[in-house]
Structure 1
Amino acid sequence: MNQEQTSHTAGEETLTLAERAYRDIRDRLIMLEIPPGAPVNEDLLAQSVGFGRTPVREALKRLQHERLIVAYPRRGTFATEVNITDLAHISEVRRQLEPMAAARAAERATAADREALGALLRQLEGEDTAGQDADALMRLDLRVHRAIYAATRNPYFEDTLIRYDNLATRIWCLFVNRLPGMAGHVVEHGPLLRAICDGDPDKASELARSHVVGFERAIRDAI
């Protein structure tokens, strides 16, 4: 079990084993640590993530529903391929959802949400993001998006947003070596986080829409 798994926060300690297994495997799939098309062996995966077969099996059921893995009769289970033709479909959904999420977060964020978003904002402003490697930048991007989604205070909305952001991140990971402006893409979250913390839903919505459009354009330019 790696250091990340053993250093759970107080909130993470309350998660079920199935939820913890799900989050671990999900992020391995998102970051392409489990490559697209690679076989997903339940026993080997259970040993790798440090959880039993039952929580891993439950996690895999959820991941199949979220299009991160696919099971074929008599062939086995595999990480789904990253298909660039999905970019237009995913972006079409995100262009609607991301601005709405940013606006709702600006309207509904609790004091704890604003504190978490403020900490991320300070991190974006204080770190040399240009000097970070691609893996660190993408994990920071995921943290920012997930913090915004949590601030919507709507668990159903949050789950949907995470699902599509996960799919978009897999596409990003596939083309990361062709995206020289990646640090700038992450840093541009700063004004968005500030708008949410300031309680400005219109500005937050506008910035979120621009971010999604810019992401799609950057990927298309890299192809």
Structure 2
Amino acid sequence: MAAAKTARGRIAPLPEEDSLSLGERAYRQLRDAIVEGLLPAGRKISERSLAIDLGISAQPVREALRRLEQDGMVITLPRRGTMVAEVSPVRLAELGRIRAALEGVATALAAERMDDAALAVLAAILKRMQAGTEAHDVDALAEANAEFHALIHQATGNPFLIRSLGSLQAYDHLGRRRAVGSTPRDFPKALAEHRGIVAALKKRDPALAEARMRQHILRSLVTNGVLPPQSPRKGHAP
């Protein structure tokens, strides 16, 4: 996920050819600019100046800002206009827990609905994850991870769930940018978790698939500093 920058550090114009609508493209470009800090928290933003930067009319920018406000990434204040919202660590933690729950639900639905062809694609992605893990290739792992989760989301066939997870993933990237993040020693654990998720999907076991995905997301949030380490429950061994 990357918002292209111009030489002056401004948001680059949208590419001319794209199958997505202008509003969707503007939304994604501005969302990525916020996540990457190109549009930092507290920055006042102008619909007109953004339209000029993106090389489009004001209407799709207006649509994009409306969606970003619904996502909580921008706010409009009386007599102050529209600005990039400050996302506190507490809010990031809350949204992380929500994402873990929704990712679990999506994986449970995928266990019921994913066909053999999609499972074969997941198996191929796992091979790329193994290669990336062995090579400590962070970029390759990030790309494979995004494809892995996107395939599971699509398998649900639920547009609301897909849109909701898409919005929450922006906050996941924001949390990772602020945190130290994973190190190579964490990669084998993530690979094992992905393998366990695929195994549950192949078994067509919704409960197991949901539990494994939720545990995977929560563990990654702890690793990236979004959530604090969980303390052992009373009566349970540490």
- Give the TM-score band, short-chain normalised: 0.7 to 0.9
User: Which of 81, 100, 107 is the aligned partner of 2:86?
Assistant: 81
Note closer, same or farther for the CA distance 1:113–1:31 as it changes in structure 2 (3 Å cut): farther
Correspondence 1:132 to 2:134? no
Correspondence 1:171 to 2:175? yes
- When you count helix as a share of all residues, which structure comes out higher? 1
- Contact map agreement 1:82 1:174 (CA 8 A) in 2: no
Residue identity matched to 2:53: S
User: Which of 198, 211, 220 is the aligned partner of 1:215?
Assistant: 220
2:55 & 2:144 partners in 1: Cα distance?
24
Per-residue deviation, residues 15-39 of structure 1 (Å, max 9, x unmatched): 3211222222223323444323333
User: Which of 39, 43, 51 is the aligned partner of 1:46?
Assistant: 51
Per-residue deviation, residues 42-92 of structure 1 (Å, max 9, x unmatched): 233223334322111111111101111112222232222121011442233
1:170 & 1:182 partners in 2: Cα distance?
22
Note closer, same or farther for the CA distance 1:190–1:74 as it changes in structure 2 (3 Å cut): farther
Note closer, same or farther for the CA distance 1:126–1:63 as it changes in structure 2 (3 Å cut): same
- Aligned equivalent of 1:67: 72
Percent of aligned pairs with the same amino acid:
29
2:119 & 2:34 partners in 1: Cα distance?
29
- Aligned equivalent of 1:144: 148
- Contact map agreement 2:129 2:141 (CA 8 A) in 1: no
Higher mean Cα deviation, 105-114 or 72-81?
105-114
Structure 2, unaligned runs of 5 or more = 5-11, 230-238
Note closer, same or farther for the CA distance 1:198–1:19 as it changes in structure 2 (3 Å cut): farther
- Aligned equivalent of 2:105: 100
Which structure is higher in RCO with an 8 Å CA cutoff and minimum separation 6? 1
Structure 1, unaligned runs of 5 or more = none
2:51 & 2:27 partners in 1: Cα distance?
11
- Aligned equivalent of 1:155: 159
Say what the alpha-carbon RMSD is for the aligned residues: 3.4
Residue identity matched to 1:180: T
User: Which of 183, 186, 191 is the aligned partner of 1:180?
Assistant: 183
TM-score by length of 1: 0.76
